[in-house]
Chains A and B, each alone.
Chain A
Amino acid sequence: MSNKILISGNEAMAEGAIQAGCAFYAGYPITPQNEIPAYMASRMPEAGGVFIQAESELAAINMVFGASAAGVRAMTSSSGPGISLKQEGISYLAGAELPAVIVNVMRGGPGLGNIAPSQADYFQATRSGGHGDYHCLVLAPASVQEAYDLMPLAFELADKYRSPAIVLADGVLGQMMEPLVTSPRHKVTKSPEKPWALTGCKDRPANIVKSFYIREGDLERFNLLLQKKYKAIQDKEARYEGLNLEDAGVILVAYGTMARIAKSGMLKLRQKGKRAGLIRPITLWPFPQKVFQRLTVHGKQYTKRIIFLVVEMSYGQMVEDVKLAVDGRAKVEFLGRSGGGIPTENDVIKAVSRLIR
């Protein structure tokens, strides 16, 4: 049965996790994501799970490591400075092939920065923010509804690929309230059997959860297995929303809150007869490369005239992935602000109008 409620993005992500069968949450206070631990503190015990306010971000992510090793769906949440501290544990999760969900409600940086919304942690999320050769799945919701809907998907993908998954939101999305329909649109899959989990070695050989491969050649072999997994993820799991692409002269590329603003700019441009389109990546890693390839290869007449305008609440991070995907076959322009500044709908319309003229 579905139910329509008014709720903040932070609370929506917390409830989405509960609906996904998340049975363990550990976190540490940091703005602008404090509604998540507060919601979990009251909701998790009702759902029969474990809530712990950890003594630090380091402890929180390593508690998630332990809970995941014990076989349950586990998550933590934080914002920039806290996510930096969690990188140690995220690297260990990747190395031990443990599923987990990490929510980053991005704020301004570097350093303590500020608590204004930002998209400046894109590099950290998509380039493996910790040490070693690994990737995290990265999902980027653009509405409260999607913040809720992507949580079950994040847990499902984390389990499927035994990999940490990051839900990359921002301060606007975390704080704003929108109507939410609480029956998940994405069908919730149950946590799969985890024969590798630590439960006590009754009727089976002992299980070991580790990321340590000290014997010569072992780590390279393991890293090649990881790479195979990452290739499968890149082949199968890229997701995006495309609007008005087929005849577009300028295609805006934006994710999360920025995509909302870019979309309303694009729709106003269309009303004026300007051929603008929008690509909104939903997965940031894997990045939806194929749509860029489809639009710029195949020798279509308009191909050479497409210009991609990447809009971010940063000074240019996702734009690098767009350039890699386009690979020189079209022009890639950038519009961005950071540190609390947000490109407005008007900024978007002006920038597109300049390019389309």
Chain B
Amino acid sequence: MEKVFGRPNSLRNVATHYCPGCGHGIAHRLICEVVDELNIRERVIAVAPVGCAVIAYDYWDFDCSEAAHGRALAVATAIKRVHPETVVFTYQGDGDLAAIGTNETIHAANRGENLSVVFINNAIYGMTGGQMAPTTLLGQKTATTPSGRQAGSAGFPLKISEMLASLAGVYSVERASLHAPQEIVRAKKAIKQAFINQMENKGFSLVEVLSPCPTYWGMSPKEALDWIKDALIKEFPLGKLK
């Protein structure tokens, strides 16, 4: 019988530590499918974040580097400059990429580094226990906004992808989501294109992926998917930004 679906070669055959309904497992898998399809497992180098995906290298079966919180794009910049023939990508959450690492993000993008970025936006800090993220919605309750995020004291959801799209050094920015099967297919396509862009020396490509965090949103997995569709997408509309 023909096998039509299986685990990607690049994905290790281990259980993940992620919570039920978390989006990271799906995003990890999409990357591995893309790596397999592009046949680049032997020349891809990943830079893992600090956050829930800190041990992504335990799941991906290709070369990976750790980076200090927020510094993934500085680390990736150097790896790619040293080995231009490799395919280098970072995988970063909203706190990593858009709060503590904003400077590294903007400047790697502005230099037009030939890198691919998978930016997981779940509007919360997961690993540390559900604190406010730069992308947390107004009114959203978190451990550090117990009565909901107030613009007056905590500012507004940061649209870093829109900011990056305005930079001359950036080749491509797209926002996708994991809340429904057809969206997951689109997210994979966007990630694949970001890798192809790098292989064709087009420059800096970023895919923002809206991803569920049922645990710290205080929802069931199904409710979390609905909340992306009904609330998160309104603040962070899907599609190509550049």
Interface set of A (CB-CB < 8 Å, partner B):
23-24, 26, 50, 52, 54-56, 58-60, 62-67, 69-72, 74, 88-89, 92, 96, 198-203, 206-212, 214
Contacts and interface: CB of A to CB of B under 8 A. Distances in A.
B62 A66 contact: no
Given A24-B82, A59-B107, A65 B75 contact: yes
Nearest to A70: B82
A200 B103 contact: no
B13 to A, nearest CB: 14
A24 B81 contact: yes
A278 B22 CA distance: 65
Interface in B88-114: 103-104, 106-107
A208 B47 CA distance: 10
A26 B107 CA distance: 14
Contact of A201 (B63, B67, B83): B63
Interface of B: 41-45, 47-48, 54-55, 57, 60-68, 71, 74-79, 81-83, 86, 103-104, 106-107
A218 B62 CA distance: 23
A214 B103 CA distance: 28
7 contacts: A63-B75, A66-B65, A69-B79, A198-B83, A199-B83, A200-B45, A201-B61
B63 A23 contact: no
Nearest to A64: B78
Contacts of A26: 78
A69 B106 CA distance: 23
B89 to A, nearest CB: 13
Given A63-B75, A199-B63, A202-B43, 20 more contacts: A52-B81, A54-B107, A59-B103, A60-B74, A63-B77, A65-B67, A66-B76, A66-B82, A67-B78, A67-B81, A69-B65, A70-B79, A74-B78, A88-B68, A199-B83, A199-B86, A200-B43, A200-B45, A203-B42, A207-B63
Contacts of A70: 45, 78-79, 82-83
A200 B44 contact: yes
Given A56-B103, A65-B75, A92 B66 contact: yes
Given A67-B81, A70-B79, A200-B44, A54 B74 contact: yes
Contacts, number: 132
B105 to A, nearest CB: 10
The 4 closest A-B pairs by CB, nearest first: A66-B78, A66-B75, A62-B74, A55-B107
B26 to A, nearest CB: 21
Contacts of A60: 74
Given A62-B104, A67-B78, A201 B66 contact: no
Contacts of A211: 66
A202 B75 contact: no
A58 B78 CA distance: 13
A62 B96 CA distance: 14
A257 to B, nearest CB: 32
A148 to B, nearest CB: 25
A210 B74 contact: no
Contacts of A207: 63-64
B64 A208 contact: yes
Nearest to B83: A70
A209 B63 CA distance: 8
A209 B65 contact: yes
A55 B104 contact: yes
A67 B45 contact: no
A158 B74 CA distance: 21
A118 to B, nearest CB: 28
B62 A201 contact: yes
Nearest to A50: B81
A89 B71 contact: yes
Contact of B86 (A50, A58, A200): A200
B78 A201 contact: no
Contacts of B47: 66
Contact of A200 (B60, B68, B77, B83): B83
A67 B79 contact: yes
Contacts of B57: 206, 208, 210
A72 B79 CA distance: 10
Contacts of B45: 70, 198-200
Given A63-B75, A65-B75, A210 B65 contact: yes
A237 B82 CA distance: 30
Given A92-B68, A200-B86, A202-B43, A59 B79 contact: no
A200 B1 CA distance: 34
A209 B55 CA distance: 11
Contacts of B82: 23-24, 50, 66-67, 70-72
B19 to A, nearest CB: 16
B66 A210 contact: yes
Contacts of A63: 74-75, 77-78
Contacts of B66: 92, 96, 208-212
Contact of B74 (A58, A200, A206): A58
A59 B63 contact: no
Which among B44, B47, B82 has the greatest number of chain A C-beta atoms within 10 A? B82
